[in-house]
Amino acid sequence: MTPPSPRMSAAIPGGQTSKKKDDDVPIPGQLNPSPRLLLGPGPSDAHPRVLTAMATPLLGHLDPQFLAIMNETQDMLRDAFLTKNRLTFPISATGMAGMETCMVNLLEPGDKVVVCVSGFFGTRQVEIAERTGAQMTRLDVPWGTVFDLNQLRETLTKVRPKVLSIVHAETSTGALQPIDQLGKLCHEFGTLLLVDAVTSLGCVPLKLDEWEIDAVYSCTQKGLSCPPGLSPVSFSPRAVEAIGKRKTKVQSWYFDTTMVQKYWEADRFYHHTAPITMIYAIREGLRLVLEEGLETRWARHVANHRALKAGLNAIGLEYSAAEGHQLPQLNAVKIPAGVDDLTVRKKLLADFGIEVGGGLGDFKGKVWRIGLMGHNSRANCVFQVLGALEQCLLSVGCKVAPGAGVAAANRVYAGG
């Protein structure tokens, strides 16, 4: 008798063994991954209401009902961005596509651009800016620090660029860049301000019109409590005017706003088939943001950050970002001397089902990044990760007072 095929005898994760009709090759079982609490730099857990909205039956991308949904989504996105910008919509791709959309529309060969680098995603902006053929000036500060307004003024005075690009919330370092006066400064020099708000939107104050931001991009999988798949963007009238004066075509056909905006505006000119289910998702995510209220939402992120920070400090962990510039939604802490990064993160995932992020670039192997973004900015997430991390540190020989982290967080929540 022929022995069973090794492929047939292997267990099928998530479901019973099954096979194709005409051969002995097994097919995967139904999806059933182990539960995870996503407390890394993203994605974060989607809100249950968002997941419910995603089960809504599909519509055609030019169906009158779906066009109405698009209008509602744009209106709510403007409210979340605190802007009246007409050209505001979600790019049908992830956050890095938003970065590329802004760069390739605002820059063409020969244009001058200043890119501010304070972490990994500033370097990513450099990579994309270089591909546009623009004349680039790279401005660096040490990772975990932020740019001074006077430093930026000196650079603008010297370079006189068309665009200055900067990361608002640097996910790789946990540092929050002050930008509330930067738009006004840029406009003194006739410069457009481009802001990376991938980790900002829905978590910390972001005021496009008041801060005179000309172009911004974000994502859905962090502060908006949705799955990854869309990148909200917004362009000011100044930016739209600059795009209209281009001498060359936009480098990317797919991300050319002069074309895709015709689908999102009254013309409804076919550009691509929109990701219907993801539009349902962001619509519900934005509803959640606006129901809670921006000010209340920002305060919630700060409150949970303060509790987590107290707990992390109590178990001996120090923040990598400078005091006064630490992101409430993304807590980057230094790994204790002698502790292996992967050993602890693997144990957190295997034993507790909790995902936190490791370091990138200069911070690889040196920091852990703990996200409390959107739906995951909750007290129960704070207590879970503190208790689990304490156990993991004890298991690798760190001297931690049992219960110290949770107790410190409790004192913060109690007003102590």
Lowest mean pLDDT of 4-13, 58-67, 88-97, 141-150, name the range. 4-13
How far is the C-alpha of 333 from the C-alpha of 359, rounded, in Å?
10
Residue 38 maps to a domain: no
What is the model's pLDDT at position 122? 96
Q: What is the pLDDT of residues 156-180, one digit of tens each?
A: 999 999 999 999 999 999 999 999 9
Domain final residue pick, 256, 290, 324? 290
Give the DSSP H or E segment for 44: none
Q: By the 8 A CB rule, do 216 and 234 touch?
A: yes
Domain span at residue 272? 48-290
Range name among 25-34, 216-225, 319-328, 381-390 with the lowest pLDDT average: 25-34
Distance CA 280, CA 339 (A): 43
pLDDT at 7: 37
Residue 225 has pLDDT above 60, yes or no: yes
Average pLDDT over residues 35-54: 97
- Model pLDDT, residue 14: 54
Last residue of a domain, one of 290, 310, 335: 290
Same domain flag for 128 and 183: yes
Same domain, 256 and 323: no
Q: Which residue has the higher pLDDT, 3 or 275?
A: 275
What pLDDT score was predicted for residue 17? 56
Per-residue pLDDT, 268: 84
d(CA 398, CA 65): 58
322 and 276 both lie in a single domain: no
Task: Report the number of distinct structural domains present in the chain.
Answer: 2
Q: Is residue 321 within 8 Å of residue 327, measured between CB atoms?
A: yes
342 within a domain of the structure (yes/no): yes
255 lies in the same domain as 299: no
Reported as a single tens digit per residue, the pLDDT across 47-101 is 999 999 999 999 999 999 999 999 999 999 999 999 999 999 999 999 999 999 9
Cβ-based neighbours of 404, under 8 Å, separated by 6 or more:
311, 314, 315, 390
Mean pLDDT, residues 379-385 taken together: 98
pLDDT confidence bin for 244, thresholds 50/70/90 = very high
Residue 11 pLDDT level (bands cut at 50, 70, 90): very low
Stated pTM of the model: 0.93
Of all residues in the chain, the percent with pLDDT exceeding 90 is 90
Same domain as 286, residue 304: no
pLDDT over 70 (residue 402)? yes
Whether residue 212 sits in one domain with residue 98: yes
**Is 80 exceeded by the pLDDT of residue 9?**
no
From residue 412, alpha-carbon distances to 151, 379, 416 in Å are 36, 11, 5
59 within a domain of the structure (yes/no) = yes
363 plus 394 within the same structural domain: yes
**Which amino acid is present at 108?**
E
Lowest mean pLDDT among 11-20, 179-188, 254-263, 366-375: 11-20
**Which of 238, 269, 290 delimits the end of a domain?**
290
Claim to verify: residue 335 and residue 196 sit in the same structural domain: no
Radius of gyration of the chain (CA): 23
359 and 374, same structural domain? yes
- Each residue's pLDDT tens digit, 303-320: 999 999 999 999 999 999
What is the rounded CA–CA span in Å between residue 101 and residue 8?
A: 46
**Residue-level pLDDT at 42:** 95
**Is 371 part of a structural domain of the chain?**
yes
Rounded to the nearest 5 degrees, what angle is found at the Cα of 97, between the Cα atoms of 93 and 98?
105
Buried b (16+ CB within 10 A) or exposed e, 155-182: bbeebebbbbbbbbbbbbbbbbbebeeb
CA gap 320, 281 in Å, rounded: 33
* pLDDT, mean of residues 263-291: 93
Which of the pair, 134 or 263, is modelled with greater confidence? 134
Q: Are residues 206 and 169 in the same domain?
A: yes
Q: Is 149 exposed, middle or buried (0-12, 13-18, 19+ CB in 10 A)?
A: middle
Phi/psi of residue 217, each to 5°?
Answer: -140, 150
User: Residue 369: beta bridge partners?
Assistant: 332, 357
| Arithmetic mean of pLDDT over the chain | 94
Q: How far apart are CA 41 and CA 38, in angstroms?
A: 8
Query: Which tokens belong to 361?
Result: 């670039």
Residue tagged 């109690």 (tokens): 414
Residue environment code for 53-88, b if the CB has 16+ CB neighbours within 10 A, otherwise e: bbeeeebebeeeebbebbeebbebbbebbbbebbbb
pLDDT value at 4 more than 60: no
What pLDDT score was predicted for residue 8?
Answer: 33
